[in-house]
Structure 1
Amino acid sequence: MKVLSCTASQDHRSAELMTDQGKLVVYGITENIIRCVYTKREEVLSLSPVGIERATEAGIRIEEKEDCYILATSGVSIRIEKRTGRFIWSDRKSGKILLKEDSKELAENPLMVYSTGGEKPVIRRVVTVDGERNFVENLKPEEDHMAYRGKLYFDWAPDEQIHGLGQGEEGIYNYRGNVQYLYQHNMRIPIPFLLSDRKYGIMADCGSLMTFNDDSRGSYLYLDMVEQLDYYFIAGESVDEIIAGYRKLTGKAVMLPKWAYGYVQSKEAYRTQAEMIGIAEEYRKRRIGLDCVVQDWNTWEDGKWGNKKVDKSRYPDLKKMNQALHDMHVHTMVSVWPNMNSGTENCDEMEAHGFLLNDYATYDAYDEEARKLYWKQAEEELFSGGFDSWWCDSTEPFSGPDWNGACLREPWERFQMVGNEHKKFLRADRANLYAAAHAKGIYENQRKSAPGKRVLNLTRSGYAGSQKYGTMLWSGDTCATWKNFKKQITEGLNMCISGMPYWTLDIGAFFTVNEKWQNRGCGCSQDPSMKWFWRGDYDEGVSDLGYRELYVRWFQYGTFLPMFRSHGTDTPREIWNFGEKGGMFYDALEKSIRLRYRLMPYIYSMAGKVCLEDYTMMRSLLFDFPEDKTASAMDSQFMFGESLLVCPVTEPMYYGAGSQKLDAARNWKCYLPAGESWIDFESGRYFGGGQWIDIPVTLAYIPVFVKAGSVIPMEESLEYASEEVDTPFEINIYPGKDTVFTLYEDAGDDYSYEEGIYNRITLNWEEREKTLTVGPAEHDFPQSIRNRSLRIILNKKESGRTERVVDYYGEEIKIYF
């Protein structure tokens, strides 16, 4: 590609470069965010598949040299070589080269649409583990118009790390030397955003399938179907700054209801109204924390898959059920699906309006009016019946062809198989956009219907921008092995590096069974055929002490996720199925739940920071320790918020599969990042940073370290997130240096925070003066620390704990030690 000329726009916020192969246009979005478009059309198209608002705020200066053009904002410069069209991106202030971008390609690619051509559809309905599906066997392709396939080529630095791209299955943390397919699937959530440890990110404004490739064939990002090659370069001094840039483009995360950060009990599946109530009653009887009970699928009558009307023989009175749960301060979530059986009330209504996709079962979430009708159907009985939140399952609705067979197919084969299904039913240019469009409909229409109630949507897939729709993404239907558990930690870290602040998983995995098919859930206990995804190590489920140990370790890890949620099939998941009080497994689980609720003020303050400052609460060590190469490459430890370093235990120590006793070492190797001192959260023991240590562990303990120079607020004795207790509010100081923690408070389940009605109370520790200053609080809320006693605990290195108890009335106070 030869660059022939470069001209500035009238407002000097963009530059147009003519080449021998089309047009390049560079826009200054901010001083650190640059948009680049390569097109072979006459004009740049205004469309944004991801829904980005196209504001340009930064001026671009153009300098021509003999062999190149230099385009620059005050933050970033691009050297564009005239002979090759190569881009070299640099930090304007330091002059450091950030990225060398080799070339760009656009090749014509016809966009095909599929229909029966006026024939009656030939539908084969298949019952799968992942729900009932329509396969239309007489769809025919027809060219809609000519679009393009695109490639962005990169010349990475030899030791450069590349992260992000959403969540896959393989457990890859650094994508260098790997191929990653970006497509919607049960256990895959593609995000068109990658982040380098060299302090930049790249986001493709693209809704099609994509492939990241870094091997002998080259280093590139392949975009399957685009109208133009449209992407953003985001520079920043930190990962947080880069992600803030990403959210500026795709949307800020909204506040979830406070109860969403408590314990969520789920399984496949509660079958009756009485069972839902009974689960909550048992937790309350045991005085163990609980905030939500989840109603999984099959609430509908037999044969009415996906119908948003419940079977009245099992759920005779939803309002009464939900009121009984609400009286216990327990919230509810209900599973809804985008596809519906023909002949159901919901499907027939969608069909009558022309709102079905060409599988004649799945509603068209790309159509605004179809989204309104879907909401109307969900509201009529489920929302009006008192359900608090949504579980939008199967939001990648056309991965069915791969959800069968005894052997896992090759990665490229799965990509082609599932990708072609999505292109057939969703169109190639928007094959990855369905989940985000579906979430948009739930969010926007609930806010219109119930403007005072926060939206929470647990969804199995998403895309760039999903964070602005009240979503909590989860990793899909995994199987119970130690290997998969470890992979899930890595995938969660990459999801959060992808700019998505809210991610969770099925604690204990969805599938536990392998060969003993008679023990399968999901209505499959009569099916002896082997399934590649049903490969757990524990045919006897919770009766197997090996599974109990795996579940406990997964549960301990889940304590430090944005959502703390247990779910799965094949075996029960409620705490009393793991023994009784005094038993090692039960006690370990109870301890984790109590810790989660102890940390609720800390967690909710992190949530406030996510919303107000584009923060990320589950943090790869690359966020906070980029200069420590050991830390930044870690794929199995992470920071939970500002202060807690979490080191999950990912190997068995007590029992193997089949309850086999193990004689394993009960120590865990942890790395403590350099530049900080660290305190064992449980023992109070201090350690220096920049070293590996071996820590003795028990079943009830995983290593968690507090960064020295931290303030952590805590509560005592909560059984639900919004409980008001009469015990003093606890402020724990871990000295070591000056620090400020900002405590966030608001109403908990409305949108008044959007009007500025919230408290951000500074807890300012001054190390030299040994003084804590508690800043003022303007508003009063349930659970506010205004008009409460505060117990201030100084955790000293040598001499243990020192406490002060003071009364706080919303005005600044100082506490001296």
Structure 2
Amino acid sequence: MYSTKLIYALILTAVVTACSSSASKPVQTGNGITISLPSDDPNTPKQVRLEVITDNIIRVSSSPLDKLPPSSSLMITDQLPSTPTWEKVETADSICLKTSRVQAWASKQTGEVTFKDASGNRILREAPSGKAFGPPADPDQDGIFSIRQSFESDANEALFGLGQQQTGLFNYKGYHVDLTQYNGVVAVPFLVSSRNYAILWDNYSITKFGDDRDPLPLSELRLYDATGKEGFLTATYANDKSRPDEGLIEQEGHIAYTFLDDLNKIPQNFDMANGVATWNGKIQGRKNGTHRFYMTYSGYLKVWAAGKLIVDRWRESWNPGPLVFGIPLNTEKATEFKIEWIPESTQSFLSLTFLPPDPHKTEATYTFRSEAGKMLDYYLVAGDDMDELISGYRQLTGKAQVMPKWAMGFWQSRERYKTQAELLNTVAEYRKRNIPLDNIVQDWSYWREDAWGSHEFDPERFPDPEGMIDQVHEQYHARIMISVWPKFYEGIQHYKEFDEKGWLYKQNIINRQRDWIGEGYISTFYDAFNPGARKLFWKQINEKLYSKGIDAWWLDATEPDVLSNASIKHRKNLMNPTALGSATEFFNGYPLVNAKGIYHGQRTTNPDERVFILTRSGFPGIQRYGAATWSGDISARFDELEQQIPAGLNFSLSGLPYWTTDIGGFFVEDKYDRPDPEGEALEEWRELNTRWYQYGTFTPLYRSHGQYPYREVFNIAPEGHPAYESIVFYNRLRYRLMPYIYSLTGSVHHDDYTIMRPLIMDFGDDTAVRKIDDQFMFGPSILVNPVYHYKATSRDIYFPKGAGWYDLLTGAYQEGGVQKSVAAPYGKIPLYVQAGSIIPFGPAIQYTDEKAAAEITLFVYAGQNGSFELYEDEETNYNYEQGRFSIIPITYDNDNKTLRIGEHKGNFKGMLASRTFRVILVEKDLPVAYDPDLSTKNTINYTGKAVKMKLRN
């Protein structure tokens, strides 16, 4: 008789042997290994490939087919590093790729991958059955699948990046994140973890991240109407806002006025332009715990739960925005619930869905789920800190260029300058008032009303565009950026040139869809996925605009927004097919290829001039095309200012270094513009702009823009008003900081640096900073603390531990590791400098190239050793790519109070042979207020050779 244990062992051995034999032997290629899996399930992978990219970057690809498709990527650069040395390790059930820093272990049976560091500590693990494939959103496509990959996640892990959301969220752990390009929402599938790894998800289709469940309609909750009857909420559609309880009463369980097609669901007799809709009753969970609610809204919106007002927002009617909030619900007791919506327009939107608690989906795992792709494809980047993760992202997707120096100065814009005289008078007024300015922006509609896409100035309003541009350049020493849309009116010459090549999306033409200009014109967009179309687009704007002297490109509506507020299905139809495949597969990639065409076109036409692009949307890799992104058409409100801060921080953590907002917000409420703000509304308007300008001074790009009232400082408030004085003060501070700022710009390219830095980047060991979404570092030295509440005169600040902090304006010292309330009067944004910082201040200038920084004032903040590298180059060309730049290393020894300016490295045409450094020491017990012209005993005449000085006060 065999023992039970022996029988079990024999069976187990047979099973293992059978399973092992059913898997093919892994195939090794030059930089990786491919595993064939023993699966007949069409929804699971049959092939998994591991590839070494660098010592700390591993690529994982998989497919449900017998063979992986050919590798092709829009986001990945074609200049990847050479593959480093690696080794293969194999066991009975696993195969491993091992570099000097990372191990990737894959199961031979399931293909699940576990990543470890060199010591064998787990970095990340795919969840069991985490890989899955299914039919794509467009089922008739061969070789295309919907794709899902889930990962295990530690309970205390925080997740960042993912482009730019407009929900106010910073840490996305546990949330459903919709990566779909919208006006104001930028889909960048690059994730950064607080555990110092990152994932680049190589897919171009609409993707859901995190809790990837589809949100549910309200009817999936237990609903009670205003009388307590279960089943629905009580909806009231009142045509008189002053009598919200008098109107059409409906019993409703869905609120889904999401897109244009949904507006026909609104009761026919409801006067959306003048009325108010309310939903009253109670809601009750079918599970206990916090339920997360996902809204899109425009107009005025208020939400109450349990009698507490939890939402009070406004958005321009035609441009809905996203909103996320949580409500704790339970299965025993219903919670009072009310929504009030004032649409303000016949085209306004409101929808509400939710997700119930699910610890597995929100705490134990997170998921990438994409609508379409030829294979599952992602890159794991491991690192010691977040800077290394972003460097890995740029190794994969391309270096960010050094922006032209003038781009780091102030940009003035408004919804549009309607005439040549308006634009020139604006620049002239800045120069007259001695307010620094580098750039003026000509927004849309400079063409004749019926000639969108002609790229031609309307001769009645712009009689001499070349003369206008020359005057901006030669008399005012400024640059000009112009708005260029990928949009063409039917029948104009440029439309015909695209149409005869078949390079236009034609569905909007077939639909005879008219836009909002005049009585409406029929238009469509060009197919930027087509290389020939990109070249033609550049040819047209080169002939009409660049040849006249235009300096920079404003690429609007690059989502692409062919028809605002169309449903996702309709948006796909409007750009289908692309030259590369279906719109479903390539939906999110349009802004990348659109920028690519302008970048390569300009560099071919004029190799000596740096490209500058401002685009409303972005995608991985767009930084290699000289592109920056702004946060879209946002509202002029304090709550909107507040949520721009985490939006910008996550954008920076997405590897994209150049970002800006419309200072002041684009859309304005009626109280501000009919006809002019006055009284309390005027004071609120001025304070809003003051606070926004203060914040905008310390974003990577410094730019004002918006609808009427005009955004120029002298139109916001008169000279002598606190708003005027504050805006001008911080403008001049930005220009004094130009040696510091341009050095950061150089570091973005040469060191893969990030200018706008969430505190978790520099103080990751301080657990207190993980949730801080309204403070950030501007470069290595300056802690920025925006003020975003009306009439606030103070704000709470957390001072990260491990450093001391100096008030930049007063020099007063503050120990780190504490939170406290600090003064923030009307005219001041609290700015603190980290001990050990060396900040170079340049001369007072009106534009960035007015004069060389022959004299620099170095403020040295004692308490720790410090260093800074002063970067300089030729400022407007690409010669830095051939090594024509210089770095001056500056270090401070705190123990000896000694400053050392090292020998300069490199050279370039026009480099200063000598300069003066004036050094001011700021100490804990000897504060020094900000004054870059302050006299000092510490003066160094520098000729490029190393020199050091013992500092005195």
2-side partners of 1:56 and 1:211: how far apart?
33
Q: Please give the secondary structure, in 2, of the residue aligned with 1:150.
A: strand
**2:35 counterpart letter in structure 1:** E
Secondary structure, counterpart of 2:390 in structure 1: helix
In structure 2, how many angstroms separate the alpha carbons of the residues matched to 1:563 and 1:542? 31
Q: Judging changes above 3 Å, is the alpha-carbon distance between structure 1 residues 162 and 110 closer, same or farther for their aligned structure 2 residues?
A: closer
CA contact (8 A) 1:777 1:786 kept: no
Give 2:48's match in structure 1, choosing from 24, 43, 66. Answer: 24
* Cα RMSD after superposing both structures: 2.4
Aligned to 1:266: 413
Please point out which of 101, 109, 121 is paired with 1:75.
101
Match in the other structure for 1:199:
196
Query: Which shifted more, 697-706 or 607-616?
Result: 697-706
SS of 2:948's partner is strand
Q: For 1:796 and 1:677, how far apart are their aligned partners in 2?
A: 10
Aligned amino acid, residue 682 of structure 1: L
The one of 747, 757, 768 aligned to 2:884: 757
2-side partners of 1:197 and 1:203: how far apart? Answer: 15
Amino acid at match of 1:212: F
Instruction: Provide the C-alpha distance between the structure 1 equivalents of 2:96 and 2:141, rounded to a whole number of angstroms.
Output: 39
Contact 1:86/1:103 (CA < 8 Å) preserved in 2?
yes
CA distance in 2, matches of 1:304, 1:465: 32
Q: 2:377 aligns with which of 213, 226, 230?
A: 230
The question of 1:811 aligning with 2:835 is answered no
Structure-2 change in CA distance of 1:98 and 1:285 (3 Å): same
Match of 1:186 in 2: 183
Identity of aligned residues (%): 37
Equivalent position amino acid for 2:400 in 1: A
Q: How far apart in 2 are the matches of 1:784 and 1:667?
A: 44
1:336 maps to 2:484: yes
Q: Distance in 2 between matches of 1:588 and 1:234?
A: 43
Q: What is residue 447 of structure 1 aligned with on the other side?
A: 603
2:203 matches 1:47: no
Q: Is the aligned partner of 1:290 residue 2:316?
A: no
Secondary structure of residue in 1 paired with 2:54: coil
The one-letter amino acid paired with 2:501 is H
* Correspondence 1:394 to 2:557: yes
What residue in structure 2 maps to residue 567 of structure 1?
705
Question: 1:37-85 CA deviation, whole Å, 9 max, x = no partner?
Answer: 1112323422114244366613443333455444322211233345544
Residue 109 of structure 1, aligned match among 110, 135, 141: 135
1:384-412 CA-partner distances (Å, limit 9, x unpaired): 11111110111112363417xxxxxxxxx
Q: Is the 8 A contact 1:63 1:70 kept in 2?
A: yes
Alignment of 1:500-515 (within 5 A): 500-514=656-670
Q: 1:493 and 1:516 mapped to 2: Cα distance? A: 29
Contact 1:287–1:719, Cα closer than 8 Å, also in 2: yes
Mind listing any 5+ residue stretches in structure 2 that lack a counterpart? 1-18, 40-44, 212-356, 510-523, 929-935
For residues 159 and 885 of structure 2, the distance between their equivalents in structure 1, rounded to whole angstroms, comes to: 37
Q: What is the number of equivalent residue pairs in this alignment? A: 748
In structure 2, distance between residues paired with 1:616 and 1:19: 44
Indicate if the aligned counterparts of 1:254 and 1:468 stay in contact, CA closer than 8 A.
yes
Any conservation in 1 of the 2:69–2:374 contact (CA below 8 Å)? no
2:503 counterpart residue number: 355
Higher mean displacement: 289-298 or 17-26: 17-26
Contact 1:340-1:362 at 8 Å conserved across structures: yes
- TM-score (normalizing by structure 2): 0.75
| Partner of residue 132, structure 1 | none
In structure 2, relative to structure 1, the CA distance for the partners of 1:320 and 1:757 (3 Å cut) is same
Partner of 2:464: 317
1:7 maps to what in 2?
26
Residue in structure 2 matching 1:601, options 723, 731, 739: 739
Q: 1:64 aligns with which of 60, 75, 90?
A: 90
Q: Tell me how far apart the structure 2 counterparts of residues 615 and 74 of structure 1 sit (CA, whole Å).
A: 24
Structure 1 position 593, deviation (Å): 0.3
Contact 2:196 2:385 in 1 (8 A): yes
Contact kept? 2:611, 2:626, Cα under 8 Å: yes
1:429 Cα deviation after fit: 1.1
Q: 1:389 to 1:541 in 2, by over 3 A?
A: farther
Equivalent of residue 770 in structure 1, options 876, 894, 897: 897
**Cα distance in structure 2, aligned partners of 1:33 and 1:393:** 34
Deviation at 1:725, TM superposition (A): 6.0
Equivalent-residue separation in structure 1 for 2:852 and 2:377 (angstroms) = 53
Which one of the candidate residues 527, 538, 553 is aligned to 2:691?
553
The answer as to whether partners of 1:741 and 1:762 remain within 8 angstroms in 2 is yes
* Correspondence for 1:686: 813
1:273-319 CA distance string (max 9 Å, x none): 12111111100000010000100000111211232111111112222
Q: Counterparts of 1:12 and 1:459 in 2: how far apart (Å)? A: 36
2:598 is aligned with what amino acid? I
Would the aligned equivalents of 1:680 and 1:705 in 2 still touch at CA under 8 Å? yes
Q: What's the secondary structure of 1:792's corresponding residue?
A: strand
Measured at CA, do residues 6 and 722 of structure 1 come closer, stay the same or move farther in structure 2, by a change above 3 Å? farther
Structure 1 residue 800 displacement after superposition? 4.1
Deviation at 1:185, TM superposition (A): 0.9
Q: For the residues of structure 2 that align with 1:775 and 1:94, how far apart are their CA atoms?
A: 41
Structure 2 matches for 1:520-669, cutoff 5 A? 544-653=682-791, 666-669=793-796
Amino acid at match of 1:244: S
| SS of equivalent residue, structure 1 residue 702 | coil
Instruction: Mark the runs of 5 or more structure 1 residues left unpaired by the alignment.
Output: 113-141, 404-413, 520-537, 654-663
Which of 779, 803, 822 aligns to 1:676? It is: 803
Structure 1 residue 167 corresponds to structure 2 residue 164 = yes
| Counterpart position of 2:584 | 428
Tell me the equivalent position of 1:256: 403
Does the 8 Å CA contact 1:181/1:415 hold for their aligned counterparts?
A: no
TM-superposed CA distance for 1:6, in Å, is 4.8
CA spacing shift, 1:686–1:97, aligned 2, 3 Å: same
Q: Secondary structure at the match of 1:50?
A: coil
Question: Could you say what secondary structure the match of 2:142 adopts?
Answer: strand
